[in-house]
A = this chain, B = another copy of it.
Amino acid sequence: MKVWVTGANGFIGRHLVRVLADRGYSVHGIGHGAIGDAERHHSGLAHWLNGEIDAANLNALAERTGLPSTIFHLAGGSSVGLSLAQPFEDFSRTVAGTARLLEWLRGTARDCRLIAVSSAAVYGAGHEGAIAVDAATLPMSPYGQHKLMMEQLCRSYAVSFSLRSTVVRLFSVYGPNLRKQLPWDICSRLQAGERTLVLGGTGAEVRDWTDVRDVARLLAVIDGKPQAEAFQAINAGSGFGTTVARVSARIAECWGGTISVQFSGIVRAGDPTSLLSDDAMRRTLPFDWRIPVEQGLGDYVSWFKDQIR
């Protein structure tokens, strides 16, 4: 089985490549970032093309590896903050990059399946409780808006050109190698010696935390099941919500020592009070979440302390 991973050098991409290589797949990657030969070999990547997702580079990769049966499309903007600082850059990565990829598939690899990673940010801030995959979408940041546009491009190429694609809406993914967002911020501040942490928001914000190792396995499972329709969307959360306060407390507990976590009460405009997936996905896929958030955060703190040694 030959597959490609765009953005294979990113946080989720590295975990996914490992899972796929361990299953015996021939895994090739394209995206930004220098990866030396030794590192590439160790990562499980047979080929790596360091460059933009465009027709010339996709053709170059195809010449080396042949056409893939599936492309896992992980390349794209990766943070709400960056999308606010540089919205056009986020648009280029997420939307224009996907448009070029779909057009290349239409011309060159029509039988290839696309599994594109999207985000719960497409739902916006107006939801309470578990969110179904057909809930209203009203993204509040350029990041979420561009992810929604990426999904729409996938749907459009499925409807008009029968290209098969699955968009997978990830929720709050954390785990080893995550070098941004709440768990990273808290660990970094603890590492710097802070013992009284004042965090933004109220602490009551609910998120659906999923360990990246589970998420990588889920993406491989999705690839293993043929899709019935040309286009499908999947809510890839656990259905289990944990507050930011609880996550912060757990990280502090795993870190050890006397740590006080407080909240400023200042809520960032557009920040949802709750982003929680329903668990409909588990009824259609042979997949179970294995890493509870308490354990996953423990592993994260261990990884953090290891990597700064």
Contact indicator A156/B160 (Cβ below 8 Å): no
The answer to whether residues A160 and B103 also contact, given A148-B152, A152-B145 and a CB cut-off of 8 A, is no
Chain A, 220-268, CB within 8 A of any chain B CB: none
Contact of A153 (CB < 8 Å), options: B100, B145, B153, B161: B145
**Could you say which of B152, B155, B160 contacts A84, with CB atoms under 8 Å apart?**
B160
Q: What is the interface of chain A mostly: helix, strand, loop, or mixed?
A: helix
A160 and B87 contacting across the interface, CB-CB below 8 Å: yes
**Contact of A157 with B by CB under 8 A:** yes
Query: For residues 135 through 162 of chain A, which have their beta carbon under 8 Å from a beta carbon of chain B?
Result: 139-142, 145-146, 148-149, 152-153, 155-157, 159-161
Which of B91, B103, B155, B270 is in CB contact (< 8 Å) with A88? B103
Copy count, this protein chain: 2
Task: Give the contact-size bracket for chain A.
Answer: 20 to 34
Task: Give Cα A148 to B148, complex, Å.
Answer: 11
A297 at the A/B interface (Cβ < 8 Å)? no
Complex alpha-carbon distance, A88 and B157, angstroms:
10
Instruction: Enumerate chain B residues within 8 angstroms of A106, measured Cβ to Cβ.
Output: 87
Cα A145 to Cα B157 with chains together (Å): 10
The listed residue (B87, B149, B155, B159) touching A157 by CB distance below 8 A is B87
Q: Complex Cα distance A161/B146, Å?
A: 15
A282 to B155, CA, bound (A): 34
What separation, in Å, do the CA atoms of A175 and B84 have in the docked complex?
42
Q: Which residues of B contact A115 (CB under 8 A)?
A: none
Q: Knowing A95-B95, A100-B88 touch, does A160 contact B148 (C-beta < 8 A)?
A: no
Which residues from B are CB-within-8-Å of A159? 140, 270
Chain B: CB-nearest residue to A157: B87
A133 at the binding interface (Cβ < 8 Å): no
Known: A95-B99, A156-B139. A161 touches B88 (CB 8 A): no
Chain B, Cβ-Cβ closest to A124: B159
A156 B145 Cβ-Cβ under 8 A: yes
A residues 4-50 touching B (CB-CB < 8 Å)? none
- Which one of A140, A146, A149, A161 has the highest number of Cβ atoms from chain B below 10 Å of its Cβ? A149
8 Å CB interface, A80-125 against B: 84, 87-88, 91-92, 95-96, 99-100, 103, 106
A248: shortest Cβ distance to chain B, in Å?
Answer: 27
Residue in B141, B142, B149 whose beta carbon sits within 8 Å of that of A149 in the complex: B149
The interface residues of chain B lying within 8 Å CB-to-CB of A153 are 91, 145, 149
Chain B: minimal CB distance from A68 (Å): 20
Query: With A95-B95, A96-B96 in contact, do A156 and B103 touch (Cβ < 8 Å)?
Result: no
